[in-house]
Amino acid sequence: MISSFTGFCVYFKQLKMLPEYFAFLYQKPVSEEKLTEECRRQQIPCEIQESDIGAEDVQRESEKFQAVLVGGIEAMDYGRVESLFSDSDVRIDVSLLKWMTAILVLGCFALLLLLVFYCYEKWGCKKWVYGVTFLFWAMYVRYAVFGGMPEFPLWSLPGRWSDFEGWGEFWQEVENQLCCIIRFWDHSVVSGYCECMGKSVGYLAVFLAAAADRVRRIGIRCAGKIVE
């Protein structure tokens, strides 16, 4: 159990430290100097990193796409960046992988909390024990687990909760991004994120399964003693 939880901590920390950017993939080579100059002319505070992806002798099909990485996108720049790279073949929001992992991790920790509450119920603990446990759980998840996570880009959400059309477009965009990530999971701009995501969630799931099995064994042992 300890080793699996340690593995989760290591890979989730690595995931949080990875940079965030949008990856615009091109099947045909593009002039990165020209794009850099265009960004400067439009006063877009983005950093376009050079990439040597797109060589003809690569083995994986996904690596035949040349990648232009753009970081530092804020709400006021999003539309202009989308327009500038509108001729790209694929657009991947790499930071989405961080939030996907965060949601899965939060779900696992919620199940772990329910497992602890289940034990409390079996042991007949008082109500205040539940409250103290939840307080420590919330503080640990907020500061120890998710400390250092970037703020969620609220500007990407619809302006009003009643904007059903906007929410439909938002979830459609999320679905499209997931499809792109699955398609290019072995691409160099995504593979590192996918590895950290898979291993951190995998280790945490193993830890949760081991904890549930331990609780089951303790329950059987206690039941046996009661029968005796």
Pick 116 or 58 by higher pLDDT: 116
The percentage of residues in the chain with a pLDDT greater than 90, rounded to a whole number, is 5
- Rounded to whole angstroms, the Cα distance separating 136 from 31 reads 53
User: Over the stretch 123-147, which tens digit does the pLDDT of each residue have?
Assistant: 788 888 889 999 999 999 988 888 8
The pLDDT of residue 220 is above 60: no
- Rounded to whole angstroms, the Cα distance separating 190 from 198 reads 12
| Residue 156 confidence (pLDDT) | 65
Nearest alpha-carbon partner for 193 in 20, 3, 53, 46: 20
CA gyration radius, the chain: 23
Are residues 200 and 11 in contact, defined by beta-carbon separation less than 8 angstroms? yes
Domain boundaries for CATH 3.30.70 within the chain:
21-93
State the fold for domain 21-93.
Alpha-Beta Plaits (3.30.70)
User: Over the stretch 189-200, which tens digit does the pLDDT of each residue have?
Assistant: 788 888 888 899
Pick 51 or 154 by higher pLDDT: 154
What is the residue-averaged pLDDT of the chain? Answer: 77
For the beta sheet containing 66-71, the strands, ordered from the edge strand earlier in sequence to the opposite edge, are: 47-49, 66-71, 22-26, 90-93
The pLDDT of residue 113 is above 60: yes
SS3 137: helix
Are residues 25 and 67 in contact, defined by beta-carbon separation less than 8 angstroms? yes
